[in-house]
Chains A and B, each alone.
Chain A
Amino acid sequence: MDIFSGLALGFATLMDFWLILSIIGGIALGYFVGAMPGLSASAGMALLIPISFLMSPEAALCMLISVYAAAEYGSCITAITMNTPGTPGALAVVFDGYPYTQRGEPAKALAISIIASTVGGYFGAVALILFTKPIADFAIRLGAPEYALIGLLSLMLVAGLLSGSWVKGLLATAAGLLIATVGIDPLIGQTRFTFGVDYLVEGIPFVPILIGLCAVSEAFYLMGRSLERRIASRSMSGALPTWREIRSLWPTYLRGSFVGVFIGIIPGAGAAIASIMSYNLERKVSRTPEKFGTGIPEGVAAPEAANNSSVGGSLIPLLSLGIPGSNSAAVLIGAFLTHGLVPGPLLMMRHGDLVYTIFAAMLFGLILMFALGMLLIPIWTSVLRVPQGLIAPLILVIAFIGAYAYGNSFGNVIVTLIFGIIGLLMRQNGISYVPLILAVVLGELIEINVRRSLILSQGSLEIFVTRPMSLVLLLVLVTLVIVPLVLRRMRRSSGSTGPEVPERRR
Chain B
Amino acid sequence: MQRNSDFWLGLLIFMAAVPAMWAANRLRALDSADPLGPAFLPLVMTGTIAALGLTLVVRNIRSVTAAETDADERNEARNSRRRVTGVAAVYTLYVFGARYVDFYIATFVATFVLLFLGGMRSYVGNALIAVAATAFCFLVFARLLGLPLGDI
Contact = CB atoms under 8 A, between A and B. Distances in A.
Interface string A194-236: 0000000000000000000000100111011111000000000
Given A188-B34, A190-B30, A220-B87, 17 more contacts: A171-B13, A193-B24, A223-B84, A223-B117, A224-B81, A224-B84, A389-B115, A392-B87, A392-B114, A393-B111, A400-B94, A404-B152, A408-B147, A413-B98, A413-B152, A417-B92, A420-B88
A286 B33 CA distance: 61
A347 interface: no
A170 B48 contact: yes
B115 to A, nearest CB: 5
A499 B87 CA distance: 35
Interface stretch (A75-83, A175-183, A478-486): A175-183
Chain A interface residue bracket vs B: 35 or more
Interface stretch (A109-117, A363-371, A448-456): A448-456
A459 B148 CA distance: 50
A455 B33 contact: yes
Contacts of A181: 41-42, 45
A429 B11 CA distance: 13
B118 to A, nearest CB: 3
Between A226, A397, A417, the greatest number of chain B beta carbons within 10 A of the residue's beta carbon is seen for A397
Nearest to A394: B133
30 contacts: A54-B145, A167-B59, A175-B45, A178-B20, A178-B42, A178-B46, A178-B49, A185-B38, A188-B38, A190-B29, A220-B84, A220-B87, A220-B88, A387-B119, A388-B118, A390-B118, A392-B118, A393-B110, A393-B111, A393-B114, A394-B111, A396-B114, A397-B133, A397-B137, A401-B141, A408-B147, A408-B148, A410-B152, A420-B88, A420-B91
Contacts of A167: 52, 55-56, 59
Contacts, number: 154
B74 interface: no
A235 B38 CA distance: 62
A389 B88 CA distance: 15
Nearest to A444: B41
A157 interface: no
B34 A451 contact: yes
Given A188-B32, A224-B83, A408-B148, A389 B48 contact: no
Interface of A: 51, 54, 167, 170-171, 174-175, 177-178, 181, 185, 187-188, 190, 192-193, 216, 219-221, 223-227, 387-390, 392-394, 396-397, 400-401, 404-405, 408, 410, 413-414, 417, 420-421, 424, 428-429, 443, 447, 450-451, 454-455, 458-459
B88 A401 contact: no
B84 A424 contact: yes
Nearest to A229: B119
Nearest to B6: A429
B120 A387 contact: yes
Contact of B147 (A221, A388, A405, A420): A405
A388 B114 CA distance: 12
Contact of A451 (B27, B36, B129): B36
B49 A175 contact: yes
A459 B110 CA distance: 55
Nearest to A216: B91
Contacts of A54: 145
Interface string B103-134: 00001001100110111100000000100010
Contacts of A451: 34-36, 40
B119 A227 contact: yes
B48 A174 contact: yes
Contacts of A192: 24, 27, 38-39, 42
Contacts of A401: 137, 141, 147, 149
A2 to B, nearest CB: 39
Contacts of A429: 5-6, 9
A397 B36 contact: no
Contact of B91 (A396, A405, A459): A396
A488 B129 CA distance: 51
B34 A455 contact: yes
B120 A410 contact: no
B133 A171 contact: no
Contacts of A170: 48, 52
Closest 6 CB pairs of A and B: A389-B118, A393-B114, A227-B119, A224-B84, A459-B35, A185-B38
A390 B129 contact: yes
A341 B27 CA distance: 31
B118 A171 contact: no
B143 interface: no
